[in-house]
Amino acid sequence: MKTETLKLVTIIVQDSLADALKKLVEEAGAKGYTYQTVAGKGAHGSRESTEWEGANVKIEVIVSEEISNKILEQIREQFLNKFALVVFVVDAQVIRAGYFI
């Protein structure tokens, strides 16, 4: 089956920043995204949803390399030095690339 290579951008951030990041992703040119509440453990210890701290969310978006670069640049400029967040990009082999670009 023929696939095309696009970029999967994953952003993990505190829930209070989710709306701003979803807006950023859309303004960069993404057609959509997946968003969900997550918990885990990493360099800063465990992170669970609490009434005091709130939850972490994961935003995933499949886009072209050009849009991926726009998203990363905007995150770097607006969020990276101010907030705790994790961002990574991997190649994604997709069927029906037209759904994403």
User: Contact 45/89 with Cβ under 8 angstroms?
Assistant: no
Report pLDDT for 91: 98
Q: State the pTM of this model.
A: 0.89
pLDDT in tens, 64-89: 999 999 999 999 999 999 998 999 99
Residue 52 has, within 13 A of its CA and on its CB side, a CA count of: 1
The per-residue pLDDT for range 24-69, each reduced to its tens digit, is 999 999 999 999 999 887 776 655 555 556 789 999 999 999 999 9
For residues 96-101, give the mean pLDDT: 89
Predicted confidence at residue 47, as pLDDT, reads 54
Domain annotation for the chain: domains and CATH numbers? 4-99 (3.30.70.120)
Lookup result for tokens 């998203």: 71
User: Quick one: which H or E segment has residue 37?
Assistant: strand 34-38
Instruction: Please state, in angstroms and rounded to a whole number, the distance separating the CA atoms of residues 94 and 38.
Output: 24
Instruction: Enumerate the β-bridge partners of residue 92.
Output: 6
